[in-house]
Amino acid sequence: MTHTNDPAVIERLLTAPGTWAVVGLSTNRARAAYGVAAYLQGSLGHRIVPVHPRAETVHGAPGVARLADVAAVLEAGTTVDVVDVFVNSDLAGAVVDEAIAIGARAVWLQLGVVDEAAAQRAHDAGLDVVMDTCPAIEGRRRGLY
C-alpha cells in the first residue's frame, strides 16, 4: 500500500494545539528542523520537545536524548500529539516504532523521509500519519503564519 496524506489530518495536526516531539532537532540553525520547530512553536503555538542525542535546549524548550525520555519533560497527563521525524528514511522506521511505543497520536515524516512499512505500522497502531511533506510548507500553504 502507498500512503496518501489526508488533507483533513494535516489541517487538524497543524491547527489543534499540541505537543510536538521533534526528532533530530538541535541548535544547528542551518538544519531544516531548527526553522520548522521555530515555526511550529512561534507561528502555530505548539509546544515543542527537541529529541536529539545531545538533548539540547532549543527555542527555550528543554531537549531529551530519546523519545522514551519525553515524558520526563512533560506535565503529568500530557502526551505527545505528534512525533515530527527529521531523520534519514533508513532510520525513520525505528523512530516510528518508538512513537507507537510512547503512545504518540501521530507521526509526521518530513519532506524526503519515506518509509511505507513504518507508515503502515503507525496507521495499524491507530496513529495519524503524514509523510514526505513539511508542516511549515503545509501550514503556509493554508495561510497559517
Alpha-carbon gap, residue 70 to 43, rounded angstroms: 23
Q: What does the DSSP 8-state code read for residue 128?
A: E
pLDDT for the residue numbered 1:
62
* 47 close to 62: Cβ distance less than 8 angstroms: no
pLDDT for the residue numbered 2:
84
* 26 close to 52: Cβ distance less than 8 angstroms: yes
pTM, rounded to two decimals: 0.97
pLDDT for the residue numbered 145:
84
Query: pLDDT below 70 — which residues of the chain?
Result: 1
| 82-85 vs 106-109, strand pairing mode | parallel
